[in-house]
Structure 1
Amino acid sequence: MMTLPMTLPKALVALALAGAAFGAQAHKPWILPSSTVVEAKEAWVTVDAAVSEGLFDIDHVPLRLDGLTITGPDGASVTPENVSNGKLRNTFDVKMARSGTYRIALVNQNVMASYKAGGETKRFRGTEETFRKEVPANAEELRVTRTTSRLETFVTANEPDTAVLKPTGTGLELVPVTHPNELRAGEKATWRFLLDGQPAANLPFSLIPGGVRYRGTLNETRQSTDAKGEITFTIPAAGMYLVSAAWPVQARGEGAGPGGPGAQGGQGQARPAGQPPQQPARRVTYAATVEVLPE
């Protein structure tokens, strides 16, 4: 795992990724490879990383690269090269020395808490380690939410393989039954979502194509998985897409309940009128950039 000095505060990254199942107006974190399939003896890709209002537009702030991991087809870690920290985006290059598929991922775990000390409400955002150091274990009215976020993409040098597609068993993950670098417009594709290694049943997810600024409409597609955490669907047009999902599922106007994928219910719990929604004890998000090739 790489820890690189970047410019965007960790708290903003955590909040951005926690909203990965974003709506039309939210700022979106994303990583975008220059290509997802490279056929060359010496294969390289350049990756942009940013948080933007328009999907894949460079219009807001760079995305911090703490938690960046690049995994090669042999399971070995790959070091990013030519890392550049810009005002609106960060970039890095990936040398794909071996043929096969690589996973480029930003994985973060954060803690958000509120509590009272000396009659005043205090708030905390940070890592599990700093939480244990800075927040008293016996703090009054302590409320804690732990977030796990995964933001990733897949790139292939020459011939695709499936070694890096194996799930880690932690958090929300996409297990592409159809290889993510073999998606084609007009052809059926099958995806499987897992939560901590188990099928994420009835999980809603969002699929948004790039180029929103030129269309004038979001063109968002919303789908949900079946009881096995799977869905088979057809993407009509080629291009770069962002897929995103979050757990627990929160019903509109209600607090997030304990239910979720694999649980009974999972549409949130009603709360008394006038009370703010309660944050779940755990929040898990997923987002990935995928390319759909022409027919």
Structure 2
Amino acid sequence: MLKKTILSLSLLMLMPSAQAHRQWLLPSSTQIDAKEAWVTIDGAVSENVFDFDTNALSLDNLDVIAPDGSQIKAEAAIKTKFRSSVDIKLPQKGTYKISQNAQSVMATYRLNGEEKRWRGTEEKMAQEIPADATDIKVSRTYSRLETYVTNDTANDTVLKATGTGLELVPLTNPTELFAQETTRFKVLLEGKPVPDSKVSVIAGGVRYRGVLNEITAVSDKDGIISIKWPFAGMYWLKAAYPQLPDMVDGKRPPMPEKRYSYAATVEVLLP
């Protein structure tokens, strides 16, 4: 019992001291070869990626782009405490992009001499911030979550940049990634390359490793990053623009007027 207690304490000491809540989409498989192809997508918010430990992520606004560029609908949506799930029928052969875009608004203001904080949607801001509030400062966050699935044979139609928001565009098909190989992505903001952008790469299974083992890739002058996958498994990629400033005297400087975030889930296969 004493040995088990010491081991448990050691693993806790190795865990990240301040874990953030992360949003992600998780496909049941990224490569499907079946007479009638389907995939299930789970969505959640959690401390450890791909662990169902905090809240479900709403999948009401999920976009599914088929290999020919058309949109199709997800089916059989359910939501529980820790996860949301949808089923998607894949009638075409090729690669599908499954994504969700969202916008949130944060504001600070002063009312009767006190500083107040507010968070919600663009539509509710005018209704819920008092008319006599002063020193109103607003920050808008645009977020994008993505994952990719291939039915039978991969193609690249859905890999094209949309030209809106922050994107991590794969330069090789993201359903054909292999351990110990290197993959390149291009970081774009509103369709333009973003140099010196830090992209975080985290493999699933943190609770069993006891350490985060985060990989950080930095984009070059053309916005391109290179990632060498250390082992097979599901990976979570995260980028943000601009990077949040460091804390000063225990306080973070004001948020920028616009902030963009991007996260993707990819599967890395055995070679």
Hey, which of these two has a bigger chunk of strand by percent? 2
Q: Counterparts of 2:170 and 2:25 in 1: how far apart (Å)?
A: 18
How do residues 160-171 of structure 1 correspond to structure 2 at under 5 angstroms? 160-171=154-165
Where in structure 1 do 4 or more consecutive aligned residues deviate above 3 Å? 117-123, 132-139, 273-276
- Conserved in 2, the CA contact under 8 Å of 1:207 and 1:242? yes
Residue 33 (structure 1) aligned with residue 27 (structure 2): yes
Unaligned runs of 5+ in 1: 1-21, 255-272
1:130 aligned counterpart, secondary structure: helix
Alignment deviations for residues 73-120 of structure 1 (CA, whole Å, 9 cap, x no partner): 122222111111112111111100111111111110121112234444
AA at the equivalent of 1:238: A
* Structure 2 counterpart of 1:280: 256
Residue 291 (structure 1) aligned with residue 255 (structure 2): no
Offset at 1:274?
7.8
Q: Counterparts of 1:169 and 1:275 in 2: how far apart (Å)?
A: 34
2:158 aligned counterpart, secondary structure: helix
Q: Counterparts of 1:108 and 1:57 in 2: how far apart (Å)?
A: 22
1:290 aligned counterpart, secondary structure: strand
Alignment deviations for residues 25-45 of structure 1 (CA, whole Å, 9 cap, x no partner): 112211110100101221111
Residue 182 (structure 1) aligned with residue 158 (structure 2): no
Alignment deviations for residues 30-73 of structure 1 (CA, whole Å, 9 cap, x no partner): 11101001012211111111111222111221112243211111
* Structure 2 counterpart of 1:248: 242
Q: How high is the TM-score relative to the length of structure 2?
A: 0.87
1:153 aligned counterpart, secondary structure: strand
Residue 125 (structure 1) aligned with residue 119 (structure 2): yes
- Conserved in 1, the CA contact under 8 Å of 2:188 and 2:194? yes
AA at the equivalent of 2:144: R
Offset at 1:135?
4.2
- Conserved in 1, the CA contact under 8 Å of 2:111 and 2:132? no
Q: Counterparts of 1:286 and 1:276 in 2: how far apart (Å)?
A: 21
1:40 aligned counterpart, secondary structure: coil
* Structure 2 counterpart of 1:105: 99
- Conserved in 2, the CA contact under 8 Å of 1:24 and 1:218? no
Q: Counterparts of 1:243 and 1:155 in 2: how far apart (Å)?
A: 16
| CA separation of 1:212 and 1:274: change in aligned 2, threshold 3 A | closer
* Structure 1 counterpart of 2:9: none
| CA separation of 1:275 and 1:293: change in aligned 2, threshold 3 A | closer
Q: How high is the TM-score relative to the length of structure 1?
A: 0.81
Alignment RMSD: 2.1
* Structure 2 counterpart of 1:76: 70
Q: Counterparts of 1:108 and 1:23 in 2: how far apart (Å)?
A: 28
Offset at 1:250?
2.8
AA at the equivalent of 1:65: L
Worse-matched range after superposition: 159-168 or 205-214: 159-168
- Conserved in 2, the CA contact under 8 Å of 1:145 and 1:281? yes
Residue 173 (structure 1) aligned with residue 149 (structure 2): no
Worse-matched range after superposition: 237-246 or 45-54: 45-54
How do residues 57-68 of structure 1 correspond to structure 2 at under 5 angstroms? 57-68=51-62
Offset at 1:226?
0.3
Instruction: Pick the structure with greater CA Rg.
Output: 2
Q: Counterparts of 1:81 and 1:157 in 2: how far apart (Å)?
A: 17
Q: Counterparts of 2:31 and 2:24 in 1: how far apart (Å)?
A: 18
How do residues 110-259 of structure 1 correspond to structure 2 at under 5 angstroms? 110-135=104-129, 139-253=133-247
Question: How many residues are paired up?
Answer: 256
* Structure 2 counterpart of 1:50: 44
Residue 85 (structure 1) aligned with residue 79 (structure 2): yes
AA at the equivalent of 1:236: P
Alignment deviations for residues 253-272 of structure 1 (CA, whole Å, 9 cap, x no partner): 35xxxxxxxxxxxxxxxxxx
Alignment deviations for residues 192-245 of structure 1 (CA, whole Å, 9 cap, x no partner): 110111001100011000111111111110110001000223212111000001
2:24 aligned counterpart, secondary structure: strand
